[in-house]
């Protein structure tokens, strides 16, 4: 029997990324929008990525049948004492564009030299199974913040984040390249391993 995984996101970029990494698993991956919950929204007021991810997962789990996955991602910049961190999506305010967030980040780092523009992306994935069992998976990637946007792909801070040991921003990478290196990809690979272990242990292959 193919089990259903419901993503608590309407972000098409994120959904595509998750589907791609879990594509060979015995699960049908759908988004909350696919199930008619386009207006489902949760205030992300937690103090950690894990708290926000679980809050989203728990609220959606009350409404649907299946395995619920929710994630929260933050960009942590050392020179800004970890900001924007858990506020990454709304760094420049509520309901702002990626461009506005990027512009504020560049402004706040304007006088910071490249060697001190170190940062890391981190993703935490919260999973709630049909029976209420919970687990988390996480992934991170180090890099630096560029002085200007570079690249046309990706979303969010991707045009500004130069991935360690590559010399490229995420936005300069193909989707395939990014999916081998990104924080979300690493968290999803960890999740994939957990799901594979659970399948083996339950005999549900």
Quote the CA–CA distance of 32 and 63 in Å, as a whole number. Answer: 10
Report the catalytic residues.
Answer: 72
Rg value, the chain, Cα: 17
Residues in CB range of 161: below 8 A, 6 or more apart: 75, 119, 121, 143, 144, 145, 146, 169, 170
3-state SS of 59-113?
A: HHHCCCCCEEEEEEEEEEEHHHCCCEECCHHHCCCCCCCHHHHHHHHHHHCCCCC
Which residue carries 């991810």 as its tokens? 53
End-to-end, the C-alpha distance of the chain in Å comes to: 9
């Amino acid at each position: 029997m193919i089990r259903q995984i419901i993503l608590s996101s309407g972000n098409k970029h994120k959904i595509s990324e998750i589907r791609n990494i879990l594509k060979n698993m015995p699960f049908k991956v759908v988004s909350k929008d696919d199930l008619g919950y386009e207006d489902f929204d949760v205030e992300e007021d937690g103090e950690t990525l894990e708290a926000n991810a679980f809050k989203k997962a728990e609220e959606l789990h009350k409404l649907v049948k299946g395995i619920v996955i929710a994630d929260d991602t933050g960009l942590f910049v050392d020179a800004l004492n970890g900001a924007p961190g858990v506020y990454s999506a709304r760094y420049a305010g509520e309901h702002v564009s990626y461009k506005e967030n990027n512009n504020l980040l560049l402004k706040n780092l304007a006088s910071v030299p490249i060697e001190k523009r170190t940062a890391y992306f981190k993703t935490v994935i919260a999973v709630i199974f049909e029976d209420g069992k919970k687990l988390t998976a996480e992934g991170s990637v180090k890099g630096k913040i560029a002085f200007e946007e570079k690249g046309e792909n990706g979303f969010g801070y991707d045009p500004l984040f130069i991935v360690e040991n590559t010399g490229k921003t995420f936005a300069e990478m193909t989707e395939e390249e990014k999916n081998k290196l990104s924080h979300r990809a690493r968290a999803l690979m960890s999740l994939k391993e957990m799901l594979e272990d659970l399948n083996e242990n339950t005999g549900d292959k």
